[in-house]
């Protein structure tokens, strides 16, 4: 019975997307930013190797850039994406986390 309800909800979900086209990109940007902030926090504590920190930062920044390019009509998310891309790789974790939190608010509003 529960599985049937889930299936029905899934099908309903398919019909209710419309304005949510940007959601996957926003979720991915928010998560990559949160990951980047965590990496920088740990790097500041001296617990990461230089190659790991550099590799993870580059990957997070690339993910943010890719997802930002895929945004269609969410100006607020595009602004946050641009702001994140303007930050240096070793930006303060709090600064990155602020943008991640802003993206999360946009995500929740959708």
Partner 1 sequence: MNPLELMLGILTAVGGFVDVSELVFAAQAGSGFGYALIWVFAIATIGIMVFGEMSGRVAAVAKQPVFNLMRHRLGLGLGLVTLSASVASNLITCAAEVGGAAIILHLLTGASYALMALAMTAVLVASIWVLPFKWIERAYGLLGLVMIVFAVALVKIDPPWGAIASGFVPQVPEGLSVRELTRFAYFGVAIVSAVMFPYEVYFYSSGGIEDEWGVKDLGVNRLTCIVGFGLGSLLAITILSSSAQLFGPFHIDPQLPGSAALEVELPMGRTGLLLALLGMLFAISGAAIETCLANAYGIAQFFGWKWGRRKKPWDAPRFTLAWILLFALALAIVLTGIDVMRLVEFAVLFSILVLPLTYLPLLLLASDRRFMREHRNGWLANGLGWAYFVVILVAAVAAIPLFVLTSGGQA
Binding residues for partner 1 (CB under 8 A):
2, 6, 9-10, 12-14, 16, 20, 23-24, 27-28, 30-32, 34-35, 37-39, 42, 46-52, 54-56, 59-60, 63, 66, 100, 104
- Do 55 and 22 contact (CB within 8 A), yes or no? no
CB of 91 to partner 1, least distance (A): 16
Tokens of 19: 């304005």
Question: What is the smallest separation between the CB atom of 1 and partner 1, expressed in angstroms?
Answer: 11
Nearer to partner 1, 78 or 96 (CB): 96
What is the CB neighbour count within 10 angstroms for residue 34? 19
Least distance from partner 1 to the Cβ atom of residue 13, Å: 4
Report how far residue 51's alpha carbon sits from residue 95's, in angstroms, rounded to the nearest whole number: 22
The minimum distance between CB 71 and partner 1, in angstroms, equals: 13
Residue closer to partner 1, measured from CB, 23 or 87 = 23
Tokens of 99: 């943008």
Instruction: Give the position of tokens 């702001």.
Output: 83
- As given in the structure block, the two tokens for residue 41 are 């926090």
């Amino acid at each position: 019975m529960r599985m049937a309800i889930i299936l029905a909800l899934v099908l309903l979900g398919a019909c209710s997307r419309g304005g949510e086209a940007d959601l996957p990109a926003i979720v991915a940007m928010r998560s990559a930013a949160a990951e980047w902030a965590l990496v920088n926090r740990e790097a500041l504590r001296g617990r990461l190797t230089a190659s790991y920190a550099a590799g993870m930062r580059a990957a997070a920044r690339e993910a943010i850039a890719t997802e930002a390019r895929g945004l269609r009509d969410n100006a607020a998310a595009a602004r946050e994406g641009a702001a994140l891309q303007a930050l240096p790789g070793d930006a303060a974790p709090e600064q990155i986390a602020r943008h991640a939190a802003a993206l999360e608010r946009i995500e929740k509003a959708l």
